[in-house]
Structure 1
Amino acid sequence: MNGNVCKKNNSHNCKNYLQQISRLCFINDFLLKIILLNYKMIVIL
C-alpha cells in the first residue's frame, strides 16, 4: 500500500511521508516505555 503511494507521488513527498511515520513510531515507542516504567514503579511502591 505504501509502495503505491510512493510511486504515484514524487520521491520527495515519499521521503517526508516515511520520515513522519518513523517519527510517530519512535514517539509512540518512547511514550510506551515511559508508561511501562511508571507502572513498574507504582507496583513497587
Structure 2
Amino acid sequence: MVLDQVEPALLRQVMAHVDQNQSKASLLLGVSRGTLRSKLSKHGLL
C-alpha cells in the first residue's frame, strides 16, 4: 500500500521538524499522541 511507503518518511520529517517532541508532532498531524506513538512504533521509529 502506498501509505505504508510514504508514512515512515513523513513521520521522520515531522519528528525532525518538532525536535522529536511527540506532543507537538501529534498536534501538527492532527492525531492523538497515542496514535502517533503507535505509528512510530509500527515503522520502527520509536
What TM-score does the superposition give when structure 2 sets the normalisation length? 0.37
Greater C-alpha radius of gyration = 1
Higher relative contact order (CA 8 A, sep 6+): 2
By percentage of residues, which structure has more helix?
Answer: 1
